Amino acid sequence: MDIAHFIFGVFGNATALFLFLAPAITFKRIVRSKSTEQFSGIPYVMTLLNNLLSAWYGLPFVSENNILVSTINGTGAVIESIYVLIFLIFAPKKEKAKIFGLLMFVLTVFAAVALVSVLALHGNTRKIFCGFAAAIFSIIMYASPLSVVRMVIKTKSVEFMPFFLSLFVFLCGTSWFIFGLLGHDPFVAVPNGFGSGLGTVQLILYFIYRNNRGQKKPDPTANVSVEMGQEKSQEVKQTLTANGSRVGV
């Protein structure tokens, strides 16, 4: 049982790392276009909160035998922080204010949980308190892409729901769900079971609408829009060529 628990923990670390790195393609697009387009920054901010709380919960003085939870979520917190910073740089003013406010909320919640658990709680009470906090925000993290799922159903397009992100939500949720079951830890098993189910829904939607990527009905301004889009693409290409070493490829 201990060996199986460790194996699924390692597999969970691997799939979670891919999950954290999957949006890199999206952020490469954001940097290239210098715009967040219709991408939402909410999932990345909520994932950051989940990483911080889960990393804290996995520490030995909070819960035993969960160091693998702590290591991968500490790594994830660093990666998500980079994503949030990039989003804040390129987001429109209104969206930037919303995401910055949400980021401040996230940091406040984590600081409050950490301070209360250290200064006011001990032993199993500390574990339960931190476990509930981590589980609640893990579920919120997994639920945050629901706005994108709604957009997919409404537009019948998966343009703004990357396949690999959906795939690794499923793999990560499933592996940590099993890890939690083997370790008899409901604070790990329950939220990740929810994540596994949501990942399944996203994959089903992707395969239903995978051939429809933002297609629109013809309209009188279509040709003008295409020409403007080509001109904009050319300008972006020229800018990237001139500043390739700074932006990256």
pLDDT digits (tens, 9 = 90+) for 42-64: 888 988 998 999 999 999 999 98
Per-residue model confidence (pLDDT) at position 78: 96
- CA dihedral (150, 138, 18, 245) positive or negative: positive
First to last CA, the chain: 45
Return the structure tokens found at 63: 């819960």
Q: Angle, to 10 degrees, between the axis of helix 67-90 and the axis of helix 93-119?
A: 150
pLDDT digits (tens, 9 = 90+) for 12-43: 999 889 878 878 888 999 999 999 888 888 88
Residue 194 makes CB contacts below 8 A (sequence gap 6+) with 138, 139, 142, 143, 173
pLDDT digits (tens, 9 = 90+) for 117-161: 999 998 899 999 999 999 998 887 777 667 778 888 888 888 777
Per-residue model confidence (pLDDT) at position 159: 76
Per-residue model confidence (pLDDT) at position 59: 94
Q: Angle, to 10 degrees, between the axis of helix 163-182 and the axis of helix 2-21?
A: 160
Q: What is the pTM of this model?
A: 0.72
Per-residue model confidence (pLDDT) at position 214: 55
DSSP 23: T
pLDDT digits (tens, 9 = 90+) for 162-198: 787 788 788 888 999 999 999 889 999 999 999 899 8
Per-residue model confidence (pLDDT) at position 239: 35
DSSP secondary structure string for all residues of 34-88: TS-TT--SHHHHHHHHHHHHHHHHTSTTTSTT-HHHHHHHHHHHHHHHHHHHHHH
Cα 217 to chain centroid distance, Å, stands at 32
pLDDT over threshold 50, residue 236:
no
Cα 65 to chain centroid distance, Å, stands at 25
What backbone phi and psi angles, to 5 degrees, belong to 83?
-60, -45
pLDDT digits (tens, 9 = 90+) for 201-228: 889 988 888 877 655 444 444 444 444 4
